[in-house]
A and B are shown apart, each in its own frame.
Chain A
Amino acid sequence: MKKWKWTNLYLIFVFVMLYVPIIYLIAYSFSEGERMSGFHGFTLAHYAELFADTRMIQIVVDTLMLALLSSLIATIVGTLGALAISRTVRPLVKNTVLSLNNILMVSPDVIIGASFLIFFTALKIPLGFGSVLMSHIAFSIPIVVLMVLPKLQEMQQSMLDAARDLGSTNSQTLARVVLPFITPGILSGFFMAFTYSLDDFAVTFFVTGNGFQTLAVEIYARARQGISLEINALSGVMFIFALLLVIGYYFIQQGSQSRKAKHRKESEAIIHEAAH
């Protein structure tokens, strides 16, 4: 019992370490004054300032739109990719494609940013929203593939055979059997792609021109100029948003797990009945 307590203490220490900076940041968003030192009394002025800052609001909206659009497209392409990989029979081709898939996962952001910058310049694609969108789609696709692929491998061949035996066409099998089964994987992939996009700074920093800003790039520019408690207020808002996203993600995962459990129960019940 004693040991159990001691170990919990270490975990709590790690959590305190992880959360202190975030709490510090948000706490000062309510402080009067202009600096992150010596709490000067409660105010909501920085939040008022934030919501009156139309440029900042526009950037937040742009960032969210970008994340939504890029993760949506990445999810579609990534799911198709996962379907393609799962259909590949030859192991050499499969492994090569998987290795290529993972290159962008392990590449440092700077390399992705720099090489995409060369790529867009070579093709004379203007830097701005378009180039940023394409980059975000590109670096989000592999994670979608990695989230969907295990679901496809989990799927039993007998289900597909059953669908075919019952006379369904390929597209019917895909729409009615395969897609519903892999939906949890697709949703996880979408969520991961969405966070990748929201979280990215380095790649965007390389491929965005002067016309288009994301939140991360804007924060970088402002942070280099020094502290402004408006950014703290923004952190408060972003934290709530992240919290909601995490809760959403948690429920999606729980949902897929309980569905799995339900399936298991159902099949157990069927077996049970058959036995009787």
Chain B
Amino acid sequence: MKKNTATSLAFYVPYALWIVLFVIAPVILIIYQSFFDIDGHFTLDNYATYFQSGTYIMMTINSVWYAFLITLVTLVISYPAAYLLHYAKHKELWLLLIILPTWINLLLKAYAFIGIFSQDGGVNNFLGLFGIAPKQILFTDFSFIFVASYIEIPFMILPIFNGIEELDEGYVNASRDLGAKWSQTFTHVILPLTMSGVKAGVQAVFIPSLSLFMLTRLIGGNRVITLGTAIEEHFLTTMNWGMGSTIGVVLIVAMFIIMFLTGERRKKGAKRA
């Protein structure tokens, strides 16, 4: 018995150390840091600045709005794709092809769009075929949302696909046998039953979208400022870690709100069922 506890203790140590040092400590440190000003004095000024100056509030609202748009675009594209994928032949292969682009570094994909969207790039050349003059596409809100959605699509398709895979085909057939139209089957049976996948996808896309600072720099041309951009700016450029941490705390709070909203309430349902 004694040996038993000793071996299990050996299992716990490295993992427990990781939890304490790299999960709990950093969260505490970022909250702690948010109470210090640039000179290292304890203060509540950062929070006062955040809530009183309109710019930070506006920036937060903007960031959430962009994240919402990105999530919406990816969801609208991904749901039908995941649904069709479920019924496709060779779906493992298709799925693999969806995952493959996520293995290409994000920066390379962003870099590709610098070429595609540039003044004499692919899109403008294509428009030129129809006699449309070159447009400024790069460094616009559109380009930012487009590229961010492009990058996030596989992360939306996968959880929705998994959700649909779990769907019991019997319900769909039953609904059809009972005379429901396809649209009724979809809204009353398929969508509610695959909601957990949608929620997981929204969570997987919305939270990172709040913090895509490299895209705002490379594609958004500093026109779009997200919470992530602001944190990066404060930590690495202006070196005002206190303010950066304050925005970080806001981002953490936003993260928990989203996790709460998209959280699994399946437990309750499962009990009832």
Contact = CB atoms under 8 A, between A and B. Distances in A.
Contacts of A238: 104-105, 108
A18 B27 contact: no
B99 interface: yes
A155 interface: no
Interface string B112-154: 1111101011100100000000000000000000000010011
A103 B22 CA distance: 10
A11 to B, nearest CB: 5
Given A24-B115, A110-B228, A242 B103 contact: yes
Contact of A170 (B3, B111, B235): B3
A202 B211 contact: yes
Contacts of A234: 108
B81 A80 contact: no
Contacts of A104: 22-23
Tell me what chain A mostly uses at the interface: helix, strand, loop, or mixed: helix
Nearest to A135: B22
A160 B7 CA distance: 16
A156 interface: no
A110 B211 contact: yes
Interface stretch (B52-60, B191-199, B244-252): B244-252
A199 interface: yes
Contact of B111 (A17, A134, A231): A231
A231 B109 CA distance: 11
Contact of B26 (A112, A201, A202, A231): A112
B218 A239 contact: no
5 contacts: A22-B112, A100-B24, A108-B211, A138-B22, A227-B111
Nearest to A6: B84
Interface of B: 3-4, 7-8, 10-12, 14-16, 18-19, 21-27, 29-30, 33, 77, 80-81, 84-85, 87-88, 94, 96-116, 118, 120-122, 125, 150, 153-154, 203, 207-208, 210-211, 213-214, 217-218, 227-228, 231-232, 235-236, 241, 244-245, 248, 251-252, 255, 259
A18 B103 contact: no
A246 B96 contact: yes
Output the residue of A21, A122, A138, A205 with the most chain B CB within 10 A. A21
Interface stretch (A43-51, A180-188, A212-220): A212-220
A28 B102 CA distance: 21
Interface in A67-109: 76-78, 80-81, 83-84, 87, 97, 100-101, 103-104, 106-109
B22 A116 contact: yes
A195 B103 contact: yes
Contact of B218 (A80, A119, A224): A224
B125 A219 contact: no
A38 interface: yes
Given A84-B12, A122-B29, A24 B245 contact: no
